[in-house]
């Protein structure tokens, strides 16, 4: 089974690509890290308790007011006010970086456990490929377990800010810029993806309309299918020991590619 790591940056079109891949003619199962991140911090969960303990006293509007919306079920606690939490952790100041790191330490381990459970299920049901949709794929280190990484990118950050404000009208220009910057330069992610080599890293450029995006995605999916044919996934399903060896090889190869990229980046910085 091919683990296709899908990433990008906020408002580059990653969610649109994920949606297209989940529908015919691809019909690939998608493990959405954002959806899992919401699930593991729902009221009553351990993640929810930790977030309230750390951020509650210094973030007055951290929790939604159940009386403001009759549809809110507060039996296990008031839901987290995600925009308020976002304002607390998104930004480039040292304080916001610290708070974002704390939030990541709460959410990421729980997300990974649920992610691995779903991966096992899709392997046992004979899927050719599974999309692992993670905004911070490289930053979280999950790229090393992916056979192929796909980055959805735009050539100009201004496009991201405009799309983000069109989508989330409550965001100010500063809020939108902070959210874009907090996820790093997507063009850097594109370069890192291409450095993995043919078949192991593909970039979907999304500077145009949705139809242009579909054509670009069709092009890269043909490249991925050639590098990882369907018969290979069936062979791995029928021979679990071979699947185990293939997984170890994919992980080893991912570590080598990650290390090579980091060494090249250090060399570039040393020349500056």
Q: What percent of the chain has pLDDT over 70?
A: 100
How many CA atoms lie within 13 Å of 164's alpha carbon, on the beta-carbon side?
A: 22
CB 187 within 8 A of CB 205: no
Q: Is 138 left (phi over 0), alpha (psi -120 to 50) or beta?
A: alpha
| DSSP SS3 for 155 | coil
pLDDT digits (tens, 9 = 90+) for 71-83: 777 778 888 988 8
Task: State CA 26 to chain mean position distance.
Answer: 19
Exposed/middle/buried for residue 114 (C-beta within 10 Å: 0-12, 13-18, 19+): middle
Beta pairing class for 148-153 and 129-133: unpaired
267 CB contacts (<8 Å, ≥6 apart)?
Answer: none
Residue showing tokens 């192929």: 148
Confidence (pTM): 0.82
Query: Is residue 238 scored above 70 in pLDDT?
Result: yes
Query: Is residue 272 scored above 70 in pLDDT?
Result: no
Query: Is residue 267 scored above 90 in pLDDT?
Result: no
pLDDT category, 271, cuts 50, 70, 90?
confident
How confident is the model over 148-177, as a mean pLDDT?
90
Q: Map out the domains of the chain with their CATH numbers.
A: 1-29+128-272 (3.40.50.300), 36-126 (3.40.50.300)
C-alpha 218/C-alpha 21 separation (Å) is 10
pLDDT category, 98, cuts 50, 70, 90?
very high
CB 134 within 8 A of CB 142: yes
Query: Is residue 130 scored above 80 in pLDDT?
Result: yes
145 CB contacts (<8 Å, ≥6 apart)?
Answer: 3, 5, 250, 251, 254
Query: Is residue 204 scored above 90 in pLDDT?
Result: yes
Q: Facing residues of 3 across strands?
A: 130
């Amino acid at each position: 089974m091919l683990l296709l790591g899908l990433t990008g940056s906020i408002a580059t079109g990653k969610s649109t690509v994920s949606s297209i891949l989940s529908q015919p003619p691809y019909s690939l199962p998608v493990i959405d890290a954002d959806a899992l991140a919401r699930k593991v911090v729902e009221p009553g969960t351990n993640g929810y308790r930790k977030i309230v303990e750390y951020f509650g006293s210094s973030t007055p509007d951290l929790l939604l007011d159940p009386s403001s919306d009759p549809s809110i079920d507060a039996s296990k606690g008031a839901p987290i006010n995600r925009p308020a939490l976002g304002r607390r952790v998104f930004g480039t100041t040292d304080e916001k970086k610290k708070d974002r790191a704390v939030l990541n330490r709460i959410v990421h381990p729980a997300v990974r456990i649920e992610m691995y459970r779903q991966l096992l299920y899709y392997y046992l049901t004979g899927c050719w490929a599974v999309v692992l949709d993670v905004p911070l794929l490289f930053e979280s280190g999950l790229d090393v377990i992916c056979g192929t990484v796909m980055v959805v990118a735009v050539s100009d950050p201004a496009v991201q800010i405009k799309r983000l404000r069109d989508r989330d009208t409550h965001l100010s220009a500063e809020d939108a810029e902070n959210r874009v910057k907090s996820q790093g330069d997507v063009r850097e992610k594109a370069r890192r993806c291409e450095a993995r080599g043919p078949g192991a890293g593909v970039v979907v450029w999304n500077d145009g309309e949705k139809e242009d995006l579909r054509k670009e995605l069709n092009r890269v999916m043909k490249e991925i299918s050639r590098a990882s044919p369907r018969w290979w996934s069936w062979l791995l399903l029928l021979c679990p020991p071979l699947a185990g060896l293939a997984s170890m090889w994919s992980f080893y190869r991912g570590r080598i590619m990650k290390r090579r990229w980091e060494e090249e980046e250090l060399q570039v910085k040393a020349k500056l």
